[in-house]
Amino acid sequence: MGMGAEIRNRIARRAAQEIKDGMTVNLGIGIPTLVANFIAEDIHVLFHTENGILGAGPSPEPGQEDPSLCNAGGFPITVDPGAAYFDSSIAFAIIRRGCLDITILGALEVSEKGDLANWIVPGKRVPGMGGAMELAQKAKKVIVLMNHVNKEGESKILKECRFPLTAKNSVDLIITEMAVMEVTDEGLLLKEVIKPYTVEEVIAATEARLLIPAVVPTVTEVQG
């Protein structure tokens, strides 16, 4: 990713604000896994993992890992009281039935229409698409966390995705280190600019066309 821990945490902290009490949420690999660290104490959320847990908890302390407990990315996790275990068919049935309130995913590219490309860079070897294709289509709300530009400084938020798509017209909200953008029927709406960036800098860094309201709130980093 080439992104500092501070920026990754800032994006995750902003995404955590979208999670309300009683939701069932799936967190993708990468920045999305950090979101669990920023859930407020009074928010009770069930984290779903596609390898078969509802009620996944935070990462264990070093030395406290349980070799039998991991998330879909293979990383050690804990479970909350009342967690349920099941096989992959049930894990995917939960996704396909539309039972997830939110899925939070990483992305390589997102288009202004909400098309998502997050599974392969052409020419690179990958283990497979995983559950992202179904998560992106079936969750009630799809939030993408990503850096605004790639390592070459080119926008990752585009009029049309260049990489193979994971799912079309699926993304609802994009959160980067620069801005929060909502995919609407009219186009990509700039909802918030994150300090120290300005509206002009966000427009310059975005290849997609942005709808700019008369007033765009500039938010400082939200303290968890």
Token pair listed for 35 = 């979101």
Phi, psi of 146 (to 5 degrees): -160, 160
- For residue range 170-194, list pLDDT tens digits in order: 999 999 999 999 999 999 999 999 9
What rounded mean pLDDT belongs to the chain?
93
Q: Where are the domains of the chain?
A: 5-219
CA-CA distance, 195 to 126, in Å (whole number)?
A: 35
One-letter amino acid of 158 = L
Q: Do 77 and 71 touch, CB atoms closer than 8 A?
A: yes
Residue 29's pLDDT band, with cuts at 50, 70 and 90, is confident
Q: Give the per-residue pLDDT at 2.
A: 52
| pLDDT exceeds cutoff 90 at 122 | no
CATH topology (fold) of 5-219: Glutaconate Coenzyme A-transferase (3.40.1080)
pTM higher than 0.75, yes or no?
A: yes
CB atoms within 10 A of CB 17: 15
Q: Do 50 and 72 touch, CB atoms closer than 8 A?
A: yes
- For residue range 134-159, list pLDDT tens digits in order: 999 999 999 999 999 999 999 999 99
Q: Give the per-residue pLDDT at 193.
A: 97
- What's the first-to-final CA gap in the chain, in angstroms? 23
One-letter amino acid of 52 = G
Q: Do 55 and 72 touch, CB atoms closer than 8 A?
A: no
Per cent of the chain over pLDDT 90 is: 83
| pLDDT exceeds cutoff 80 at 224 | no
18 is catalytic: no
Q: Which of 50, 109, 134, 177 is catalytic?
A: 50
Mean local confidence (pLDDT), 3-29: 94
| pLDDT exceeds cutoff 80 at 1 | no
- For residue range 39-75, list pLDDT tens digits in order: 998 999 999 999 999 999 888 999 999 999 998 888 8
Q: Identify the residue with better confidence: 2 or 206.
A: 206
| pLDDT exceeds cutoff 80 at 222 | no
